[in-house]
Amino acid sequence: MSVLRARGLDVSLGALKVIDGLDLDLAAGRVLGLVGESGAGKSMIGRTIAQLLPRGFAVTAGSLAFDGRDLLRMPRGERRALLGRDIAFIPQEPLTALNPVMTIGAQLDEHLTRLGVADRRAAAVAALEAVHLPDPAALLRRYPHQLSGGMCQRVLIAMAFAGRPKLVVADEPTTALDVTIQARIMELMAELQRAHGTAVLFITHDLRLAAQICDEVLVLYAGAVAERGPVRSVLATPAHPYTRCLSLANPAMHGPPRVLYTLPEQMPGLREIASLRGCRFAPRCPLATEACERGPPPLADVGSGQAAACIRPQATRSIVAPPAPEPTGPVARGAALLEVSGVSKRFRTGSLLRRSETLAVRDASFAIAAGEFVAVVGESGSGKSTLGRLIVGLEHVSVGRIVLAGRDVTRPGAAVRAHRIAHVQMVFQDPQSALNPRRRIGSIVTQALEASGAARVARDTRAVDLLRDMGLASALAARTPSQLSGGQRQRVNIARALCNVPTLLVADEIVSGLDVSVQAQLLTLLQRLRQEHQFALLFISHDLSVVRHLCDRVLVMRAGEIVEAGPVADVFARPAHPYTQVLLASVPPEVETVYAEPAT
Amino acid sequence: MRKLRSGRVIAGLLLVLLVLGCAIFARQFAPHDPDDQNLLTTFLPPAWSVGGDAAYPLGTDGLGRDVLSRLLYGARVAMTVALVASFGAMALGAVLAYAAGYLGGWVDWLIGRAVDVWMSFPPVILSLILMTGLGVGARNVILAIILVDWTRFCRVLRSEVIVVARRDYVAAARLVGFSHWRTVVREVVPATVPLLLTLLTLEMGIAVVVEAILSFVGLGVDPSQVAWGQMIADGRQSIYDAPWTLIAPVIAIFLTVAGFNLLGDGLRRNLDVRMVEGRA
């Protein structure tokens, strides 16, 4: 019998359906992945189980049963007794999920009291041991802020599994964590799941991560299931065009470099869905025909346990990434554009009396040639963002020397600032914070001209040029950032940096937090812009597959130090430093999409 | 601007405009000269009660002066002080807040400590001391309010400026070559205008009260000018014989302050990003 079973489940916001007719079966001891990009409605399903739907959202049709009992119609008290005990949750943000004013021990104790455990202290220690936390007895006395994000997530996992639940709902449990920690948390979840035979509903945006732990996946698109099936066959032979496009949009960690498949536009919003009569994916689908517009396609079996909501699933395999452009050869390495030698950055923290110093960057030396794409990889706190800020001049170096385009820019000054403005620009991580919400897009992208006092007409012309360069409609110039999607905002962010044609661009995590299809659009855009504008790029990222796809050389940073540097291909193939090896081993293993068109 | 059409904003705005209209057109509306004494008709009750006179709609005070006319002319002082003092306090407080929040470091430390010291004086005592030193007069009332209340703006605005100045778009503006001045004017200030508007409106209500208090104790405007606080002080002596001479200015102050507070609160609810998001 299924632990969790949904039939024709509809979740609506007013007249708009957020989840449309979801069927779902999760058997005991199995792991089901719910995969989708943001806006697909995957988190709504977790919230429906917890009955924590945001205001205005309600289940309007269908059934949802846990262990044969109707979750939607059972009395409130009965459901509350189930939650946390038989149905446990692992949240996305471990640091905000724990009470900051209570010790770990007190929070575990509270939870175990509710579960009715007799020897709570022993049980708490045992629970922490089960998630491989060192010295559990000491940990019980500590507060959440004294623990790292990964340790907090382990505590939460220990709590979730402490009651031997039948079902665990994990909503993006590793998004807030570094890659190496992500790998360990995934292992841990798999281990506990196998040990107790728990059923797990694993909600994620990352198909590869799902492949690591799930037995089956449901791929959601715009609130409806696009494809369902065993995870390996869904990844290897996607039957729905959307799944295939997603797989082809993901940069690979192995194999020859290839061009990413870029889906146009983005997933339709709630209102747009309501106006679509046929297949929801049809407006973006490369294979869409008139027949697709007629009505929503049913989820039909396509063999090997897979089912896809597509009227011509056999055609899906014909989608291939565009052919690679004529190889232009490696970009000619010109003279060094940027030379960083022996740079360190100290931050002073604390009060006058208890002053402590941290070295965010320690003795960093490297060079970037004109037109070269160099990546900086490392985990949070490794100093990679500080390094970027030192280069653009948002922070000043404590020790060392930075030479940019033939001029020493180490010490701040008016002439140095002017030189920097002419040569280096930065693209910020979070477009939400990087774009002034009160400015129009046209005014944002030409800010550099405003600084030099250019005429209105010149600015307008340049704005249209820049937007066209970014693949954005010129009509967007009159809009404000809040009217744009995440991907469009990030393009505006890039456009502003390119306005005065810098020779070096520093990009700090500019594709993290974006959906795979949008990420592919941006990476392709950067590669095209590189051909057209010949700028060099310092690409700060934690995503190794993106780095492999985009960059020529890589610097691996750890605790403020550059531990390894070299051409991407060499470093990834033969990592010399143990830390680089750990980093590479943390990338979820790939299931390679069967790429070539089968002979017919 | 559509989002400003809330009940609070409209009610507050109507009240404020009503009082402002009274102040501007006091000469046209007032049935008598506010200083005209008629010692034959002292303590006349309002027109609708027994013994009232239709020529004096709200009755007369101990010197036979028309209460309604005095109220209308009193609105002039109240509104002048409210508007000028609030803008003045905002100007002083905001400039220091932008400097402290944007520049940070020792500038922030210095301004922050100045605000701390300033705010540790009880505001009423401080304004009384200032008035004693400066002497009476509308101009000095305004000066006293500015010197006491700039800290309100400075402290609240500074924390907002710090939040805005940390946004990446402010750093981006510097990187494309904006001067500090241009960065503050074009990037920081627009983001703080909603907060500033709200604070300004609330401060106007406070200024009306402060002016009334100072006039009540005789340290406010010049005695030749009509002020609501003075009317209350006069009415206090005959509170049992002629309560309307006291009640009328109290109601006038109440309506004016309620108007400013409703408006300010409505603005805050509709402009504050955090509160707007909280309701969504």
3-class DSSP string for A66-119: ECCEECCCCCHHHHHHHECCCEEEECCCHHHHCCCCCCHHHHHHHHHHHHCCCC
Tell me what pLDDT residue A464 has. Answer: 92
Q: What is residue A594's predicted lDDT score, i.e. its pLDDT?
A: 57
Contact A499 B176 (CB under 8 A): yes
User: CA-CA distance, A298 to A291, in Å (whole number)?
Assistant: 13
Contacts of B177 in chain A (CB under 8 A): 417-418, 421, 448, 451-452
- Classify each residue of A413-452 as buried b or exposed e, where b means 16 or more C-beta atoms within 10 Å of its C-beta: eeebeebbbbbbbbbbbbbbbbbbeebbbbbbbbbbbbbe
Instruction: Write the residue in A421, A428, A435 that is nearest to B176 by C-beta.
Output: A421
Q: What percent of chain A has pLDDT over 70?
A: 96
- Alpha carbon distance A84, A91 (integer Å): 12
What totals of helices (H) and strands (E) does chain A contain, helices first? 23, 22
Return phi, psi of residue A457, to 5°: -60, -45
Closest by CA to B220, choosing from B90, B130, B146, B87, is B130
What's the confidence (pLDDT) of residue A598? 42
Cβ atoms of A217 and A210 within 8 Å: the answer is yes
Q: Express each pLDDT in A143-184 by its tens digit.
A: 998 888 888 999 999 999 988 899 999 998 888 788 888 888
In this prediction, residues B180-206 reach a mean pLDDT of: 93
Longest dimension (CA), chain A: 77
Residues of B in contact with A394 (CB under 8 A): 171, 174-175
3-class secondary-structure state, position A560: coil
Tens digit of each residue's pLDDT (9 = 90 or more) over A438-487: 899 999 999 999 888 888 899 999 999 999 988 888 888 999 898 888 88
Give percent of chain A above pLDDT 90. 44
Sign of CA dihedral A94, A99, A101, A103: negative
Beta strands A199-204; A31-35: pairing state: parallel
Partner-chain contact A433 B177, CB within 8 Å: no
Cβ neighbours of B192 in A, within 8 Å: none
pLDDT band of residue B202 (cuts 50, 70, 90) is: very high
Lateral strand order in the sheet of A199-204: A87-90, A167-171, A199-204, A31-35, A216-221, A224-230, A306-308, A300-303
Positive or negative torsion for Cα A315, A319, A320, A322: positive
d(CA B134, CA A143): 56
Nearest CA in chain A to B190: A438
Residues paired with residue B154 on neighbouring β-strands, in sequence order: none
Judged by DSSP in three states, A405 sits in: coil
Q: Residue B71: is its pLDDT beyond 60?
A: yes
Whole-number pLDDT of residue A400: 93
- Predicted local confidence at residue A330, as pLDDT: 53
What lies within 8 Å, CB to CB, of A480 at 6+ separation is A437, A438, A439, A440, A441
Contacting residues for A360 by C-beta, under 8 A, at least 6 apart: A345, A346, A347, A383, A386, A560
For A453, which residue in chain B has the nearest alpha carbon?
A: B178
Look at phi and psi of residue A67 and say left if phi exceeds 0, alpha if psi is from -120 to 50, else beta.
Answer: left
Backbone angles phi, psi at A354, to 5 degrees: -110, 65
Instruction: Kindly list the strands in the beta sheet with A536-541, ordered across the sheet, starting from the edge strand earlier in the chain.
Output: A424-427, A504-508, A536-541, A373-377, A553-558, A561-567
B178 contacts A430? CB cut-off 8 A? no
For range A531-547, the mean pLDDT: 91
> Given strand A69-70, what is the order of strands in its sheet?
A16-27, A2-13, A57-66, A69-70
Is the reported ipTM for this assembly greater than 0.85? no
Place of tokens 């360069």: A469
Q: Cβ A421–B175 below 8 Å, yes or no? A: yes
Q: What is the mean pLDDT of residues B266-272?
A: 81
H helix intervals, A339-482: 384-392, 414-423, 431-434, 441-445, 447-451, 456-469
Distance CA(A153)–CA(A150), nearest Å, equals 5
Asked if A434's CB is within 8 angstroms of B169's CB, the reply is yes
Distances A411 to A206, A419, B106, B261 between C-alpha atoms, Å: 44, 12, 21, 51
The tokens for B266 are 């409505």
Q: Which residues of A touch B175 (CB under 8 A)?
A: 392-394, 421, 425-426
Question: In this predicted model, what pLDDT tens digit does every residue of A276-334 receive, in sequence order?
Answer: 888 889 888 888 888 888 888 888 888 888 999 998 888 888 888 777 765 555 555 66
Residue with tokens 């988190």: A43
d(C-alpha B260, C-alpha A191), whole Å: 63
B177: left (phi over 0), alpha (psi -120 to 50) or beta: left
pLDDT above 70: residue A208 = yes
Place of tokens 């703006």: B153
Q: What SS3 class is residue A218?
A: strand
CA-based nearest distance B183→chain A, Å: 10
Which residues, in sequence order, are bridge partners of residue A540? A376, A508
B168 to A430: CB separation less than 8 angstroms, yes or no:
yes
User: Average pLDDT of chain B?
Assistant: 89
Is B153 within 8 Å of B93 (Cβ atoms)?
yes
Q: What is the pTM of this model?
A: 0.84
CA B181 to chain centre: 30
